[in-house]
A = this chain, B = another copy of it.
Amino acid sequence: MEARVRSGVPGLDEILGGGFFLGQTYGITGGPGSGKSILSMEFLVRGAENGERGLYVTSEVSPEKLVRQMPFWDLQGCIDRGDIVTFSTRPQPGDLSERTEKFDLAGLTYMIKHYVRNNGIKRVVFDSVDAFVQQYDNHLPLRRALNDLIGMLESYGCTTLLIIEGSGDMSRECLEYMVDGAIELGRIETHHDVVRYAQVRKMRGTAHDMNKRAMEISDKGIFITNMRPFVGD
């Protein structure tokens, strides 16, 4: 069996049955504001603290804004030390190459491979896949391109989180069939309160906790508890 990679995110390894598997790819799903970006970035920060270099690929937000919006942990330090590399597929001011227009999944796979090779990257986050998925209007070439990306990352031993918004025509479920595991983040609203949760929806190769577990976001980052997210309801 694959070796395990402890995410280091408090509580996450427990519901995964011992952490992610090395070199596999996982989907992170959830609505706007559900905590997908924070959980994924903390996955990189905890890796960096452990000597595993991370790559954060964003399709839209500039890396500088990302850092300002996550004033948790020592994210800026990780970036300054080169322990986390950020890469935006969005053209920057002064960027002549009009990069985004031409980026498809094949180009992205090529680019990420370049980063992974040259920087010894071990953890990858892709926030989000939707802008790329939306370039395809049928399932077949999309499945192939995603498989190529996943296969490349696996061949380099990169453990990867794909943030999946599911806002386009290709359904969220279709992507969940293709990844090795899937974690859903959400909110439950009762008459009394609104509680965040994390739930492992799929995890190949191991038994895992199937329940929704209450999750909190504070200025220290993510904390997944071992409690059900229903309080007195």
Contact = CB atoms under 8 A, between A and B. Distances in A.
B182 A62 contact: no
Interface string A106-145: 0000000000000000000000101100110011100110
Interface residues of A, number: 67
Contacts of A218: 207
A71 interface: yes
Interface string A1-43: 1100000000000000000010000000001110001000000
Interface string A194-232: 101000111111010011100001110000000010100
B178 A147 contact: no
A186 to B, nearest CB: 12
Given A33-B182, A68-B2, A173-B32, A211 B230 contact: no
A138 B135 CA distance: 9
When all copies of this chain in the complex are counted, the total is 6
A207 B35 CA distance: 11
A204 B69 contact: yes
A48 B62 CA distance: 30
- Residue from A90, A128, A181, A210 having most chain B Cβ neighbours under 10 A: A210
Given A191-B230, A201-B33, A147 B90 contact: yes
10 contacts: A32-B182, A62-B151, A90-B147, A93-B151, A100-B144, A128-B177, A130-B177, A139-B168, A194-B210, A207-B217
